[in-house]
Amino acid sequence: MRSQSRKIAVVMSRPSFALPQSLLIFRGALQYAVESGAWQMLLDEEGFCSERKTKRRIEDLPSLGANGVVFFHEAPRIAQRIEKTKLPAVCIGVAQSPKGMPRVWVDDRAIGALGARYFVDRGFRHIGFCGPPHPVWSEPRAEGFRAAAQEAGVACEIFLSKKRDFSFNHLDTRTMWAWTSHSALRRWVRRLPKPVGVMGSHDFAALAVLEICHQEGIETPDQVAALGVNLFPLGTPAHLPALSSIDPGLQHVGYEAAALLDDMLAGRADCPQCVAVAPHTTITRASSDIRMAGDPCVDAALRFIEAQYAEPISVDDVARAAGVSRPYLGQRFRARLDRTIAEEVRRRSRGCF
């Protein structure tokens, strides 16, 4: 880490700072500041975006002693005002950063691919993806999902709404209910071949799929298993199974943005212009807690491995839990999953699921 003291401004609007996703990003930047041991974080909770003279403004950053800026790219005018300060800056967000300004965000294609592999590894032969028609983040996730499905040789269906109203710009439960009333999405869910694993481009799309299944009498996760993105902090409605979700790595986004700015301030010449942060992990909850191996003893073995992988377990332990001999279970494992029992235990312990 750098030893030189730096004063770093964090710029975002007050509404954005209240969002859980923004707080995770800020926490990552703060983690880097703590680890560096020499950073000061310059943050005005009222927002530097204010035009009022009684509040701090972006234009005041140089006089406040700021050495650099990490900002959430929400509107072109904010980026333009930061550019005018001539301070080194790193952009965080889905929008394209101004020319010449480095940008850090999640790897949306990798998020989609992780979702598809998650269902494939659970034995699904039919999977689907739904989301809004957003070209910057939702569509790349759909592309990554489709590519991973094709690579695995499983059937894949994509639903991207034609209605721009469902853009998830307002991340609250109203968005989920709007999606639930989306007749085209409802028809798509009905006609999907069952059983099927469905990934939503965001938690709200996945929750809408669960709500549609609830209203239509479709069993979850037995007929439709659902997976979202972002680890929606307010939880799942009580009448629905708890939603499984991909952690896209937002805290790491903040950390990488701070590290990149530190490199820029240190004069590093080869700083990247774009950093795509890989998704962190997948949290399995009731909405997708099912295996589709299609073999009772293999399914029993998978459930035992999933419940006990954090503890030392042997192949004999797994066979006993499945109620069959070790050679027979090993044969069924290879036939159904194309891997050994020991390989499955190792995959689970490494988080490869």
Would you list the domain boundaries of the chain? 6-106+250-279, 108-247+282-288, 296-349
Beta-carbon count within 10 A of 44 CB: 19
- What six digits make up the tokens of 29? 């930047």
The neighbour count for residue 239, using CB atoms within 10 Å, is 8
Of 283, 277, 284, residue with least CA distance to 256:
277
Same CATH fold assignment for domains 6-106+250-279 and 296-349: no
pLDDT tens-digit map of 122-133 = 889 899 999 988
Q: Which residue has the higher pLDDT, 307 or 209?
A: 209
| CATH 3.30.1300.10, applies to 108-247+282-288 | no
Nearest Cα residue to 6 out of 268, 269, 266: 266
Task: For 173-213, write each residue's pLDDT tens digit.
Answer: 555 556 666 788 999 999 999 999 999 999 989 998 999 99
> How confident is the model at residue 350, as a pLDDT?
64
Predicted confidence band of residue 166 (pLDDT cuts 50, 70, 90): very low
Return the biggest CA–CA distance within the chain.
77
Just give the CATH number of 296-349: 1.10.10.60
Residue 175's pLDDT is 55
Q: How many CB atoms lie within 10 A of CB 158?
A: 16
pLDDT, tens digit (0-9, with 9 covering 90-100), for 227-255: 999 876 666 778 889 999 999 999 999 99
Q: Supply the CATH classification number for the domain 6-106+250-279.
A: 3.40.50.2300
The span from the CA of 92 to the CA of 22, in Å, is 10
Question: Among the listed ranges 6-10, 195-199, 221-225, which one has the minimum average pLDDT value?
Answer: 6-10
What band does 289 get if pLDDT is binned at 50, 70 and 90?
confident
Question: pLDDT tens, 269-280?
Answer: 788 989 999 998
Q: What is the pTM of this model?
A: 0.79
